[in-house]
Amino acid sequence: MQRYFILEDEQWSDEAVTIIGDDVHHIYRVMRSQPGDQIICTGRNGATAICAIEAISSNQVTARIMEWVRQDVELPINVTIAQGLPKGDKFELILQKGTELGATSFIPYKAERSIVVWDEKKMRKKQQRFEKIVKEASEQSHRSLIPTIQDSVTLKQLLELSKQYDACIFAYEEEARSSDFQSFATVLKKLQRGMNLIICIGPEGGFSENEAKALTERDFQAVRFGPRILRTETAAIYALASISYHFEELEWDT
């Protein structure tokens, strides 16, 4: 069943959902749905219902709420990925894969070794594209929430933001090279369900010594993600997959 995020409260009544905008095109033209077909609708708060389409026109679809469903598809830990601005379209890959893997939010930050500069003029368009990527990835992976994407920040601002989190870590290449490393598992074992974790990842060239020092001073723990050296876009994916494995697969099994 196809899932749609219906984000405005006025689109929901007690009995029905009114769908407008791009989703109508998807239902009408892409899926070629008919009255009677069922879809899944999810509201801003994650509440999710199976709905039956009642009426379709080119600019609006009405669907009757058939059944509310309880779904446990969100990671038990709220994970924020703070990503040093990478080159090319890597940030988009991180948004898409990170959303599939359950991230709660993304904060791009201007790292010392970030080569790319995000043009302020183009930011609005870029932000719209980013929002579209996480919305589509949330729908595709059947999530009940859409991750948020914050405006890009400096490291100083990021260190301030980090106060809101229960645990702060950063992926440090030197840990992967060291035989006396801090295992990612040591950190995850200390976390409890519902806690907020921020994971800071460097851009292509990694963290400068200054950055690593500043992060450590603000209680970010250096961890390694296995002994191999990962590309910047692979680090976020590794972290989220491991968190899913730890809390959703391993703990389920014990």
The 115-134 contact track toward its own copies, x by CB under 8 A, reads --------------------
Asked if 234 is part of the footprint of its own copies (rule: CB under 8 A), the reply reads: yes
Least spacing, CB of residue 145 vs its own copies, in Å: 11
**Is the CB of 35 or the CB of 227 nearer to its own copies?**
227
Least spacing, CB of residue 189 vs its own copies, in Å: 7
Give buried/exposed letters for 124-133 (b at 16+ CB in 10 A, else e): eebeeebeeb
Asked if 197 is part of the footprint of its own copies (rule: CB under 8 A), the reply reads: no
**For the chain, what's the residue count?**
254
Q: Give the whole-angstrom CA distance, residue 82 versus residue 27.
A: 35
Binding segment for its own copies among 57-65, 84-92, 115-123, 178-186 (CB under 8 A)?
178-186
Asked if 189 is part of the footprint of its own copies (rule: CB under 8 A), the reply reads: yes
| Residue-by-residue DSSP string for 63-97 | EEEEEEE----S-SSEEEEEEEPPSTTHHHHHHHH
Q: Give the whole-angstrom CA distance, residue 85 versus residue 232.
A: 10
Q: In a 10 Å sphere around its CB, with 0-12 CB exposed, 13-18 middle and 19+ buried, how is residue 59 labelled? A: exposed
Asked if 238 is part of the footprint of its own copies (rule: CB under 8 A), the reply reads: yes
Residue from 49, 101, 146, 201 binding its own copies (CB under 8 A)? 101
Q: Give the whole-angstrom CA distance, residue 250 versus residue 127.
A: 36
Phi first, then psi, for residue 162 (nearest 5°) are -65, -15
**Is the CB of 62 or the CB of 244 nearer to its own copies?**
244
- Helix ranges (H only) for the chain are 22-25, 90-100, 123-140, 155-161, 173-177, 184-190, 209-217, 232-244, 251-253
**Is the CB of 211 or the CB of 233 nearer to its own copies?**
233
Which residue type sits at 101? L
Residues 54 to 73 in contact with its own copies, rule: CB under 8 A: 72-73
Asked if 97 is part of the footprint of its own copies (rule: CB under 8 A), the reply reads: yes
Asked if 178 is part of the footprint of its own copies (rule: CB under 8 A), the reply reads: no
Q: Catalog residues that contact its own copies under the rule CB under 8 A.
A: 72-73, 97, 100-102, 140-143, 183-186, 189, 224-231, 234, 237-238, 241-242, 244-246, 248-250, 252-253
